[in-house]
Amino acid sequence: TKQPVRVAVTGAAGQIGYSLLFRIASGDMLGKDQPVILQLLEITPALKALNGVVMELRDCAFPLLADIVTSDDPMVAFKDVDYALLVGAMPRKAGMERGDLLGANGGIFKPQGEALNAVASRDVKVLVVGNPANTNALIAQQNAPDLNPGQFTAMVRLDHNRAISQLAEKTGKPVSSIKNLTIWGNHSSTQYPDLSQATVDGQPALDQVDRDWYENSYISTVAKRGAAIIEARGLSSAASAASAAIDHMRDWALGTPEGEWVSMGIPSDGSYGIPEGLIYGFPVTCKNGKYEIVQGLPVSDFSRGKMDATAQELSEERDEVRKLGLV
């Protein structure tokens, strides 16, 4: 049997945590043969609630759950971790400007980056879920100079999965028939869900839907799905966000299927003209625990405009956090 790996989750007593922890512990993320030690970080006032979640985790008697550590100190929670899912973040409050939001989150992601740098496994794989996810990932990455920047990623997989599901509904085809769509850019309303390379049952997706529907309805429906969930449920996406986090980490660790790609927010290497260093959604394939950007895809003028607009937003966020001295 395999040795357990250590998985850190922050914001573990929150909504997403309540779904995510049970999926990790049951083997959905790293495989049904991979024992895990959960290392859970919360703020001090939430430790009591976290303890209740830990009681439930134990009550599931998951065969793969080797141990659970809880702490309000990132230096403890991140000690020797192989995977870190950074979910806890500061939500945008009414009247908050983007600078305020980025500053408040800098207070979380700067020390967490430093702690990962100091105590995590040298091969740690980091996924930032907490919003604004791309720029929070940038802050953590910039404060972990001893780790490879590529070890820091942000989640656009929920957008990717939403994009699959919307296309499946429109075409009346199963989600499993849909391949190779891409979420470019920021996990925000400027994201670009790109169907130009996508296929449904092996046929080009854009031959099967109306161009007007794609440009004027589909893209905004995917980008605004989070708000639609809040409107309907009274709470933000949680189980679907957790499921996307599982998908992101599973594919990164265990690989993507041959001939298919997924979307991950990763530090740009300049591919597709995206400014180097921005944490930007790209099409990637994964193999042996490494991801690679899918190269050489054609980019239409329509795509170019959308890809540049979301890059521009991320550049502005980077300028803000530079001004705040966070990166």
- Phi, psi dihedral angles at 246 (to 5 degrees): -60, -45
Least distance (Å) from ligand NAX to the CB of residue 33? 28
Task: Tell me if 76 sits within 8 A of 46, measured CB to CB.
Answer: no
Between 244 and 253, CB nearer to ligand NAX: 244
Residues 271, 102, 278: CA angle, nearest 5 degrees: 5
Least distance (Å) from ligand NAX to the CB of residue 283? 17
Tokens matching residue 69: 């550590």
Tokens matching residue 321: 């956090």
Those residues whose C-beta lies under 8 Å from the C-beta of residue 130, and which sit 6 or more positions away, are 10, 11, 86, 87, 88, 89, 90, 105, 108, 109, 136
Between 247 and 308, CB nearer to ligand NAX: 247
Between 16 and 38, CB nearer to ligand NAX: 16
Between 200 and 326, CB nearer to ligand NAX: 326
- Phi, psi dihedral angles at 255 (to 5 degrees): 105, 155
Least distance (Å) from ligand NAX to the CB of residue 199? 24
List interacting residues with ligand NAX (CB under 6 A). 10-11, 13-17, 41-43, 46, 87-89, 91, 108, 129-131, 133, 155, 158, 187, 236-238, 241
Least distance (Å) from ligand NAX to the CB of residue 113? 12
DSSP 217: I
Instruction: Name the residue number minimizing CB distance to ligand NAX.
Output: 14
Between 48 and 287, CB nearer to ligand NAX: 48
Between 137 and 307, CB nearer to ligand NAX: 137
Residue with tokens 């854009």: 206
DSSP 205: G
Between 134 and 199, CB nearer to ligand NAX: 134
Alpha-carbon distance of 134 to 156, in angstroms, equals 9
Least distance (Å) from ligand NAX to the CB of residue 309? 19
E strand or H helix at 265: strand 262-267
Alpha-carbon distance of 179 to 259, in angstroms, equals 9
Give the catalytic positions in this structure. 187
Alpha-carbon distance of 301 to 162, in angstroms, equals 24
Sheet arrangement for strand 178-179: 178-179, 199-200, 203-204
What is the number of alpha carbons within 13 Å of residue 279 lying toward its C-beta?
31
Show the beta-strand stretches assigned E in 94-170.
Answer: 125-128, 152-154
Least distance (Å) from ligand NAX to the CB of residue 318? 18
State the distance between the two ends of the chain, measured CA to CA, in whole angstroms: 42
